Amino acid sequence: MTIERVSFIGLGIMGTPMAENLVRAGFSVTVWNRSEHRTRPLADIGARIAASPAEAATASEVTVTCVTDSPDVVAVALGEDGIIHGAPEGSIYIDCSTIAPAVARDVAARMAEKGVAMLDAPVSGGDVGARAGTLAIMVGGDPDVFERARPVLQAMGRTIVHVGPSGAGQVVKLCNQVAGGLNLLAMAEAVSLARRAGVDPLKMLEVVSAGAAGSWMLSNLAPRAVAGDFSPGFMVELMQKDIRLVLETAGETGTPLPGTALVNQLFRMLEARGRGSEGTQAIVEVLRLLAED
């Protein structure tokens, strides 16, 4: 089946550019967002605006969501006027949110009862990757459904990997957040040490980023942190939501994650100071505060 019509629900920092890339890839796109004003930039480039998630799903062979947390997915997928009430039998639901693996499996089971196949397909790459269409997408679900949906995923990402059955995509995304959180801490500690030892942190980053210790965080977020630019590509409070899911899953599986627990506590210091809406690179400010105490 050739996929021509795609609906997109959730037009935040990530969702808006992802939906824009679907339009540019030639799909007929219908959008819905809780805050209606966010749909207007998509309408300006040719997307249709739906009145509800159900109406959006009715219009398409594939419906994509990118919302904040597990309750939000349940609401737009299964709630009143949710996707489940409009998605045609044989269509595909792709959730690109980061949610609890168990919730992903539950929603997939409910969708299957209506003849709708679900893929949990969380993404990584931040707002930069979302705009460029270079996201890494980790996908759980039926492999045949994954292959059918591949053209839609390719419009939004570059590295697209089927990682297992329903819920597996979410598990891999949580692993991504473990590595990302610890890389953020490593970045912040390197910047902090350079500053306090009297070395220009930008010079330090220039050479360290090119060596064995280089990382996406060093190349992309560290220069912004050094410049005092804490505008969000990914907000502290959203990273904390993901870390909560990580630690819940770690508890369920008996997995010790001491480094991730530390990152959680450091970000909590930012939240306590009302800085939860800043970008995750603001972790450098926590180490600055600790050094001053």
What are the structural domain ranges in the chain? 5-166, 171-292
CB distance 165 to 140 below 8 Å: yes
Select which of 114, 173, 203, 241 is catalytic: 173
- pLDDT at residue number 66: 98
Q: Which CATH number fits domain 5-166: 3.40.50.1010, 3.40.50.720, 3.40.50.300, 1.10.1040.10?
A: 3.40.50.720
- pLDDT at residue number 293: 58
How does pLDDT run along the chain (293 residues), one tens digit per residue?
689 999 999 999 999 999 999 999 999 999 999 999 999 999 999 999 999 999 999 989 999 999 999 999 999 999 999 999 999 999 999 999 999 999 999 999 999 999 999 999 999 998 899 999 999 999 999 999 999 999 999 999 999 999 999 999 999 999 999 999 999 999 999 999 999 999 999 999 999 999 999 999 999 999 999 999 999 989 999 999 999 999 999 999 999 999 999 999 999 999 999 999 999 999 999 999 999 85
Residue 241 is among the residues annotated as catalytic for this protein: no
Quote the CA–CA distance of 240 and 245 in Å, as a whole number.
Answer: 9
pLDDT digits (tens, 9 = 90+) for 82-138: 999 999 999 999 999 999 999 999 999 999 999 999 999 999 998 899 999 999 999
**Could you tell me the CATH superfamily of domain 171-292?**
N-(1-d-carboxylethyl)-l-norvaline Dehydrogenase; domain 2 (1.10.1040.10)
- pLDDT at residue number 102: 96
